[in-house]
Amino acid sequence: MLLLTSALKLKKRFPKFFLPAELNRNVRAIAKAIAHPNFSIAKVDADQTSEVIALIKDFQPNIVINVALPYQDLSIMDACLATGVHYLDTANYEPPNEAKFEYKWQWAYHERFQQAGIMAVLGCGFDPGVTGIFTAHALKHYFDEIHYLDIVDCNAGDHGHPFATNFNPEINIREITQKGRYYEKDDWVETAPLSIHRPIDYPKIGLRESYLLYHEELESLVKHIPTLKRARFWMTFSENYITHLQVLQNVGITSIKPIDYEGQKIVPLQFLKAVLPQPASLGENYQGQTSIGCHIQGIKDGKARTYYIYNNCDHAATYREVGAQAISYTTGVPAMLGALLMATGEWQGAGVFNVEQLNPDPFLQKLGTYGLPWHEQVDQSYAFAND
């Protein structure tokens, strides 16, 4: 929802702007509400590269923003290569039949995009996305070397449902039920799912129990910031959420392995997705805030330095503005802004890039004006100093 609203702002300046996605009745309702002559919709099977190619040729865009499922990243990248169109997404590729995500499949496109003279920007949501830009900003302006990075993600909102996910349930549950993983001392350390947790203090929210997860930006940040000695990702979950998740896992409903049911093959997790509340339906009664940021420690001019940069976003305020909850807002605005910087040439290059490889300044100069103000604390206490 929000991405379409934000995309309209961009399309007024760049008429060839096109947003591919699976367009359901919610999208049609948004398009009807917008009722703008430069805004049109179409439906495509994003698994079929030939269909995406045909649609791109029909719309003649400058940039394709991929907000389809992570399973479809490669087919859409193939279509962009075939048509010579720039590409941007918000989540890295994940094979449909395995709960595993990593950048190797998309990084393998670098030379082909380079030879085609077009740009692919990966992971331009909030996390991944703004968290990488926050880290690049810190390195550019406050550090000579970054040694420790802890990305923290808190959703302190209440939507009134006993159990629901804030984005696609299938993708969300696949992400948090796999093994945890973090980087330390030139190696990756695996942990049992949600086995490491601690209270973390979030601005204007307070202490919330936070769980160590593996998140995709860790892979790219470790690659592009070689001075890192440790990099971790933390996310909050309520006790109620964890209890529901454990029960669902125990009865096998989070499995992605097909089972036979009355003569048909079904995937339990896909069935669960069908019965859970749709994320787009959560916004109307959502109260509370999200808080996402980066705790960083390193050196500047030979001296130790600490730094914390973050954004807080209010669910109710975003619903009043765009009719969506804060998780959608914090993903959609960065995707729109990344596409804007590509369209204006402030981000440019040929090949495949993660956001931390690009200039963070124009992005952060504009981020607050599009509803996501950010804040920083320099040389204050480091929340993870005793780890």
pLDDT in tens, 337-352: 999 999 999 999 999 9
- Give the lowest-confidence range in 74-83, 150-159, 249-258: 249-258
Q: What percent of the chain has pLDDT over 90?
A: 61
For the cut 60, the answer to whether the pLDDT of residue 19 exceeds it is no
Report the pLDDT averaged over residues 153-170.
80
- Give the lowest-confidence range in 16-20, 144-148, 214-218: 16-20
Report the pLDDT averaged over residues 251-274.
86
Q: What percent of the chain has pLDDT over 70?
A: 93
Domains of the chain plus CATH, in order, are 2-122 (3.40.50.720), 130-324+370-378 (3.30.360.10)
- pLDDT score recorded for residue 9: 33
According to DSSP, the residues that pair with 121 across neighbouring strands are 88, 353
Backbone angles phi, psi at 304, to 5 degrees: -65, 140
Longest dimension (CA), the chain: 68
For the cut 90, the answer to whether the pLDDT of residue 6 exceeds it is no
Nearest Cα residue to 88 out of 113, 115, 51: 113
Q: Which residue's entry shows tokens 């990756």?
A: 188
For the cut 60, the answer to whether the pLDDT of residue 14 exceeds it is no
Residues 294-330 have pLDDT tens digits of: 999 999 999 999 999 999 999 999 999 988 889 989 9
- pLDDT score recorded for residue 26: 66
Nearest Cα residue to 155 out of 3, 313, 276, 317: 313
For the cut 60, the answer to whether the pLDDT of residue 370 exceeds it is yes
d(CA 236, CA 195): 13
Residues 115-137 have pLDDT tens digits of: 999 999 999 999 999 999 999 99
Residues 6+ apart with CB under 8 A from 328: 1, 2, 3, 167, 279, 280, 283, 318
Contact 164, 279 (CB under 8 A): yes
- pLDDT score recorded for residue 66: 94
According to DSSP, the residues that pair with 150 across neighbouring strands are 232, 295
Its pTM stands at: 0.89
